[in-house]
Amino acid sequence: MQNPHNAFKQALAQGRSQLGFWGSLADPYSTEALASVGADWILIDGEHAPNDLRSILGQLQAIAPYATQPVVRPVNADPALIKQLLDIGALTIMVPMIETAEQARAVVAATRYPPQGIRGVGAALGRASRWTSIPDYSLKASGEICVIVQAESTTALDNVHDIAAVDGVDGVFFGPVDLSASMGLMDQPTHPDVISAITNATRIVRNAGKAAGVLCTDPEKAKGYLNAGVQFVAVGVDVLLLVHSAKRLLDGFDRPSTVASTLLGYG
């Protein structure tokens, strides 16, 4: 059996644009449904969505038959958690709130076996090695692991050159919501100053030979980011797609306001 190939990492290395979705419903069934529509990647969110190790495992298994590539976001940069995610078969991780090159190097080290890093050697017990069915998994694993770090503050942007230069970092993902808050523009992720900051930082990341990514659910602004050199863009969030489409459907009917508020959970 061959080591699973990371098509997402290859696409980033080749400079190809990748469109994805944010998965926050924390359920294999909904994640598989999303995978069926043909996106390049799906983010399985362990930071803000109610996911745990087993629910993430279930979603990795659900996505496996599809061409869509899973990207897993842990709640933080804890090396023990990163180890567990890699052992259950995550090939691409996106680690939030990275502000310095030192933190980025620590993330990379958590994904590498000694002597290059500190990942515990125990994949024989897990899905990553297909329970020892992949020969020499421990010698080949790092070649298919993709490390994305999130820059979500003004401090991170100040250090983005050094972060992008870290060996083993494949890409830098800009979090516009947290960044807008850090810039004193709370809940304004599409403010011109935020877009300008991300666009400028994207140039730095691309000049370092790394990929830049962002979450942007406004199609026109997402296209603007792609034109500016951002390679991988999450263009929709599953829970918001569900809620907004459901609300639009209900809004198309003439109903008493009390009924509408009750159905929407406000009554």
What are 55-90's pLDDT values in tens digits?
Answer: 999 999 999 999 999 999 999 999 999 999 999 999
Please say if 48 is a catalytic residue. yes
Q: Where are the alpha helices (DSSP H) in the chain?
A: 7-13, 28-35, 53-63, 79-87, 101-110, 137-140, 154-158, 160-164, 176-182, 192-207, 219-227, 238-251, 257-263
Question: Of the candidates 84, 17, 100, 101, which has an alpha carbon nearest to the alpha carbon of residue 46?
Answer: 84
Given a cut of 80, whether residue 263 has pLDDT beyond it is: no
Determine the pLDDT at residue 256. 78
Whether residue 179 contacts residue 152, with contact meaning beta carbons closer than 8 Å, is answered with yes
Q: Using a pLDDT cut of 70, give the percent of the chain over it.
A: 96
Q: What letter would DSSP give residue 5?
A: P
Residue-wise pLDDT tens digits, 11-52:
999 999 999 999 999 999 999 999 999 999 999 999 999 999
Predicted local distance difference test score (pLDDT) of residue 267:
40
> What average pLDDT does this structure show over 134-156?
96
Q: For residue range 158-186, list pLDDT tens digits in order.
A: 999 999 999 999 999 999 999 999 999 99
What pLDDT, on the 0 to 100 scale, is given for residue 4? Answer: 85
pTM: 0.93
Catalytic residue, from 48, 161, 191, 244: name it: 48
Q: Which residue has 């125990």 as its token pair?
A: 122
Structure tokens at 261: 């508020």
End-to-end, the C-alpha distance of the chain in Å comes to: 56
| Type of residue at 38 | G
